[in-house]
Chain A
Amino acid sequence: MKRILIIEDDPMICHELKLLLDDHGYEGIILEDFEHALDSILKIRPDLILLDIQIPYLDGEILLQRLRAVSNIPVIMVTSKNTQLDEALSISYGADDYITKPYVPNILLLRIGAVLKRMDVSTDKIFYKDLTFYCRKGILANGKEEIILTKNEMIIFNYLLMHPSCIVSRDELMTELWNNDEFINDNALTVNISRLRRKLKEVGYADAICTKKGQGYLLL
Chain B
Amino acid sequence: MNFFLYLKDHLFFFLFRLLFFVLLFLLFFAFKVPFDCFIAIFILCTFVDFFSFFYDYFRRRSFYKALYLQVSKLDQAYLVLEMISQPEFYEGKFLWQILYDINKSMRENVLGYERRMQSYQAYIEMWVHEVKIPLATLTLMVKNHPGKFDKKVTSELKRLEDYVDQVLYYARCENASEDYLIQEVDLAKVIKNVGLKNMNDLLESKIDYLVDPISFHVLTDSKWLEFILEQIINNSIKYKRDIPNSYIHITAFEEENGIVLSILDNGIGIKASDINQVFHKSFTGTNGRKVSKSTGMGLFIAKSMCEKLGHHISIESKDQEYTKVTILFSRNQYYDVLK
Contacts and interface: CB of A to CB of B under 8 A. Distances in A.
Interface stretch (B82-90, B194-202, B289-297): B194-202
B85 to A, nearest CB: 42
A12 B188 contact: no
Interface stretch (B1-9, B110-118, B178-186, B252-260): B178-186
Given A82-B223, A183-B209, A175 B139 contact: no
Residue among B130, B157, B196, B200 with the highest chain A CB neighbour number at 10 A: B196
A84 B180 contact: yes
Nearest to B181: A84
B26 interface: no
A181 interface: yes
Contact of B199 (A17, A84, A87, A178): A178
Interface in A118-153: none
Interface stretch (A102-110, A156-164, A191-199): A102-110
Nearest to B197: A104
A105 B132 CA distance: 14
A35 interface: no
B145 to A, nearest CB: 8
A205 B330 CA distance: 54
B179 A85 contact: yes
A63 B308 CA distance: 34
B140 A16 contact: yes
Interface string A165-178: 00000010011001
A178 B133 contact: no
A66 B313 CA distance: 44
Contacts of A81: 129
A102 B157 contact: yes
B141 interface: yes
Interface string A80-99: 11111101100000000000
A175 B196 contact: yes
A80 B211 contact: no
Contacts of A23: 144
Contacts of A16: 137, 140-141, 144
Contacts of A54: 129
B137 A13 contact: yes
A83 B208 contact: no
Interface in B199-216: 199-200, 203, 206, 208-211
A83 B132 contact: no
Interface in A18-68: 19-20, 23, 54
Given A82-B223, A101-B132, A88 B183 contact: yes
Contact of A84 (B128, B206, B211, B223): B223
B143 interface: yes
A93 to B, nearest CB: 15
B236 interface: no
Nearest to A186: B203
B181 A85 contact: yes
A189 to B, nearest CB: 9
A87 B135 CA distance: 20
A54 to B, nearest CB: 8
A105 B192 contact: no
A5 B223 CA distance: 27
Contacts of A87: 223
B137 A12 contact: yes
A104 B196 contact: yes
B222 interface: yes
A179 interface: yes
A88 B168 CA distance: 19
Contacts of B206: 185-186
Contacts of B181: 83-85, 88
A85 B224 CA distance: 12
Given A84-B180, A186-B203, A10 B137 contact: yes
A204 to B, nearest CB: 34
B218 to A, nearest CB: 14
Nearest to B213: A181
A84 B225 CA distance: 11
Contacts of A186: 203, 206
B196 A83 contact: no
Nearest to B211: A183
B195 A84 contact: no
12 contacts: A81-B129, A84-B183, A84-B223, A88-B183, A101-B133, A101-B136, A102-B139, A105-B140, A178-B199, A179-B196, A185-B206, A186-B206
Interface of B: 128-130, 132-141, 143-144, 157, 161, 168, 179-181, 183, 188, 192, 195-197, 199-200, 203, 206, 208-211, 221-224
Given A175-B199, A183-B195, 20 more contacts: A10-B137, A16-B137, A16-B144, A80-B129, A80-B136, A83-B181, A84-B183, A85-B180, A101-B135, A102-B135, A103-B136, A104-B139, A104-B196, A105-B139, A106-B143, A107-B197, A183-B210, A185-B203, A185-B206, A186-B203
What are the 6 closest A-B residue pairs judged by CB atoms, nearest first? A16-B140, A102-B136, A183-B209, A102-B135, A84-B181, A105-B143
